Structures are given as C-alpha cells and as structure tokens.
Amino acid sequence: MSLESPAHNGNLRPFANIFNMTVSYRRDADVTIPYGELLPKEEETPLPEDITVNKSSLVCWVVSNYMRHHKRTQVYKELSAVVPVQVYGRWTGKPLSSSDLLPTISRCYFYLAFENSLAKDYITEKLWKNSYEAGAVPVVLGPSIQDYKAVAPPHSFIHVNEFASVRELGEYLQELAKDKKRYAEYFKWKQWWKVKLYVDWRERLCNICSQVSGLPQNKLYSDLHTWLGTGY
C-alpha cells in the first residue's frame, strides 16, 4: 500500500512473489484510493455571474520541494519568462498556512498543479484541493492527458502537453484571462459536480473492506517493481 509515486518507493525487486494485493492511487490497483474524486451534486447550482471578480494574479504556484532536475522546474522557468508567476511556499521563503492556502490561490486565474513525479495516474491534492477547491483553473503537469481526462471534469484543466511550447502556453493563459466568457467555461462542471477529498487514512482503508471479497483469490505480483513503474 502506497500513495507515493514510483520515484519515492525505492527498490521493490526484493518483494517479488510476496504481495497478492495492491492498494494505490493507480486506477488499475486492486483497491484504488485516489487523492480525490468527483461526486454528483444532489441538485444543480448556478455559477457566479463573474468568476473573475476577486482575481488579481494571472498565475500562481505553491512549492516547497524545489528540485532543479524536476520537469516542473524547467517548465516554471520557461513560463515565468513569458508571464508573471506568483510563487509561494518554503522554497521562496513565503510559506502559506493551511488557512491562507486556498484564499491565496483563489485570487489567481491559474494554478500550476505540477506534480513532482511524472507517473501513471499520479494526480494529487494539487489538482483536487489547491486548484478545484480554491477556484483557479489548474495548469497540470504529471501523467498523460488521458489519465487526467479519466478522472477530472471535462474542460476543467489545461495540460502543458497540449501546447507546442511553454511560450505558446503562456500566451494562451494571457488570452484566456482577458475573455471572461471563455474562462468561465472551465468552471461549468461545478454546476453538477463536487470534489471529494480523501485525507483520512481510516476512510481509505475502509475501501479494502468493501472490495476485498471481489478480488482474485490466487493473484500474485511476480514483479511488483515493474508494475509500480511509470506505466509509460
């Protein structure tokens, strides 16, 4: 059982032919425990007339674990050369308290929901909480566009890989922020859906109880290390 990306799970080769069940954020795990998911609302709720009313920054990013070799660092550097990016977190000496996190992000048009690892299905609270709950359009970098589309609302995020260059991405963000109607389309899903966050391990573990009876009885992971690899 792990919610870490493959890069942070160490060498799992010694565990070949030991485990018969996996519990992970991966959609193909025996028991899937995501960081968040969509739930239908009981009734449709209208959107505010002006989504942008409290927006004062174009792009923001909250990062504490800043590593030069990360793909997200490269993209950030290229993007910040095109558009202004407000950066918070321990790396910049501007940490945000838990009570300040979402209000700060809510004042941004776009949030850089950049994962620290590019791995299959690895979509964390950066999307579910920091972006969707705060009310900023997520610019995502992590697994493939298809992985995001499988779990996220339609037309609710912008994937870095959709653009030929980071400069093109930056120009798109500038144009979108100026068009209130087009920008608001990224929030239409909120009329019918709400985000469910999983933060309590007890709640996650209860998923095992509800699913274990339907799992194969004689399954065995002969190569757990490869299974938990990037998947690409």
Give the residue numbers marked as catalytic. Answer: 4
177 close to 58: Cβ distance less than 8 angstroms: yes
Total residue length of the chain:
232
The number of helices, as runs of H, and strands, as runs of E, in the chain is: 8, 9
Which residues, other chains included, contact 34 with Cβ-Cβ below 8 Å and sequence gap of 6+?
Answer: 25, 123, 151, 198
- CA 181/CA 90 separation, integer angstroms: 35
What is the gyration radius of the CA atoms in the chain, in angstroms? Answer: 19
